[in-house]
Amino acid sequence: MTRKQRYESIVRWFAENRPDVQSELTFDSPFQLICAVVLSAQCTDKRVNMVTPALFERFPSPQALAAASPEEVYDIIKSVSYPNSKAAHLVGMARRLVEVYGGQVPSDIDELMTLPGVGRKTANVVASIVYDKPVIAVDTHVFRVAHRLGLSDGKTPEAVERDLEAHIAEELRPVAHHWLILHGRYICTARTPRCEECALKVWCKSYKA
């Protein structure tokens, strides 16, 4: 099976069986989404969704968060991973949003990446969900699933991103990120992948019957 055939089969299965998947993070605005994605680094969406209601109630806008201290934010988010650095990033991000972008979350990926705490993965998530940019964010789940399925052998997230975007149509890329991340989260898990339950095993490069 060629890589092109593998992509066609896997994308077709997802499109037919998981057409409406979306982010599991809870948010009501671009500002809330970027905060939630920053908090989700090396942390579960479930845990993030437990702390963001209080965070957004206390700091409902970039302006409110920009006026806060990292210590105030830390008290709210201390149950997530790396709370000290994330608190500092959130405040720094909000201040740059206010000072440089008038409180608006930019749509350009390079501009997003100038915000504290925002790397390429976070920038791609925000650009894809909020602005329908034809990009695919590669986190640890997407990286793992892409390799196991044989969709990429790239050594870096950026290389995997290039492979995925080269083979997945632009209009499908915003949802393709969710296909792969949720598949990695619930089926193709890191330690004990649930291969017997996986409908993609017939095309999977790693599966051994």
Q: What is the rounded CA–CA span in Å between residue 6 and residue 202?
A: 10
Residues 49-58: contacts with CB within 8 Å, 24+ apart?
49/24, 49/25, 50/79, 51/76, 51/77, 51/79, 51/80, 52/25, 52/26, 52/27, 53/26, 56/28, 56/32
What's the pLDDT score for residue 159? 97
Q: What is the rounded CA–CA span in Å between residue 137 and residue 191?
A: 22
Q: What is the DSSP letter of 25?
A: S
What's the pLDDT score for residue 1? 84
Q: What is the rounded CA–CA span in Å between residue 38 and residue 86?
A: 7
> Angle formed by the axes of helices 120-131 and 173-186, to 10°?
120
pLDDT along the chain (209 residues), means of 10: 93 94 93 96 94 97 98 97 97 98 96 96 94 92 96 96 96 93 94 94 88
Task: Please state the pTM of the whole predicted model.
Answer: 0.88
| Angle formed at CA 18 by CA 15 and CA 19, multiple of 5 degrees | 60
Enter the tokens of residue 87: 């608190």
Q: Is 39 exposed, middle or buried (0-12, 13-18, 19+ CB in 10 A)?
A: buried
Catalytic residue IDs: 121, 139
190 φ/ψ angles, rounded to the nearest 5 degrees: -65, -50
7 CA to centre of own chain: 21
What's the pLDDT score for residue 20? 86
181 Ramachandran zone, left/alpha/beta (phi>0; psi -120 to 50): alpha
Q: What is the rounded CA–CA span in Å between residue 48 and residue 61?
A: 18
What's the pLDDT score for residue 100? 98
Enter the tokens of residue 101: 């972008």
What's the pLDDT score for residue 209? 61
